[in-house]
Amino acid sequence: MIDSFSTTEVEAFGRDGFLIIEQDFIAEETVMLLRERFDKLFAGEYSTGIAPDEVNWVAGRDPETKTRQICNGWKADDLIAAQVLSEQSGRLAAQLAGWDGVRVVHDNCLWKPPGARTLGMHQDGSYAGYVDPAEMITVWVALDQTFAQSGTIEYVAGSHKWPKAPPSRGDFHDPDDWLAPVAAAAPKGASSERTPVVVKPGGAAIHHSRVFHGSGINEAEIDRRALVTHMIPSTAQFDPVGVDPIYTRYRRRGEMAMDESYFPILWDNAGGRSPWLSSLPQLPGAVTAGA
d(CA 118, CA 159): 20
Q: What CA–CA distances, in Å, run from 167 to 127, 170, 231?
A: 6, 9, 19
Q: Which stretches of the chain score pLDDT less than 50?
A: 290-291
Q: What CATH number is attached to the domain comprising 114? A: 2.60.120.620
| Closest to 228 in 3D by CA, of 197, 259, 250, 252 | 197
Contacts of 242 (CB under 8 A, 6+ apart): 129, 130, 131, 132, 134
In a domain, 6, yes or no: no
Neighbours of 136 (CB within 10 A): 25
Alpha-carbon Rg for the chain in angstroms: 18
- Sign of the dihedral defined by the CA atoms of residues 114, 120, 124, 127, in that order: negative
> What pLDDT, on the 0 to 100 scale, is given for residue 242?
96
Residue (of 132, 124, 85) closest to 274 by Cα position: 85
DSSP string, 153-219: EEEETTGGGSPPPPPPSS-SBS-S-TTHHHHHHPPTT----EEE----TT-EEEEETTS-EEE--B-
pLDDT digits (tens, 9 = 90+) for 118-174: 999 999 999 999 999 999 999 999 999 999 999 999 999 999 999 999 887 667 888
User: How many residues belong to the chain?
Assistant: 291
Strand partners, 111: 68, 225
pLDDT of amino acid 291: 43
Domain around 116: 16-276
Q: Is residue 87 part of a domain?
A: yes
Residue 9: inside a domain: no
Could you tell me if residue 151 is inside a domain? yes
What is the tens place of the pLDDT at every residue in 242-256?
999 999 999 999 999
Q: Is residue 166 part of a domain?
A: yes
pLDDT of residue 1: 80
Query: Is residue 289 in a domain?
Result: no
Count: domains in the chain: 1
pLDDT, residue 56, reads: 94
pTM of the model: 0.96
Question: Is 281 within a domain?
Answer: no
**Contact (Cβ atoms closer than 8 angstroms) between residue 218 and residue 116:** yes
In a domain, 124, yes or no: yes
**Cα gap 152→215, rounded to integer Å:** 6
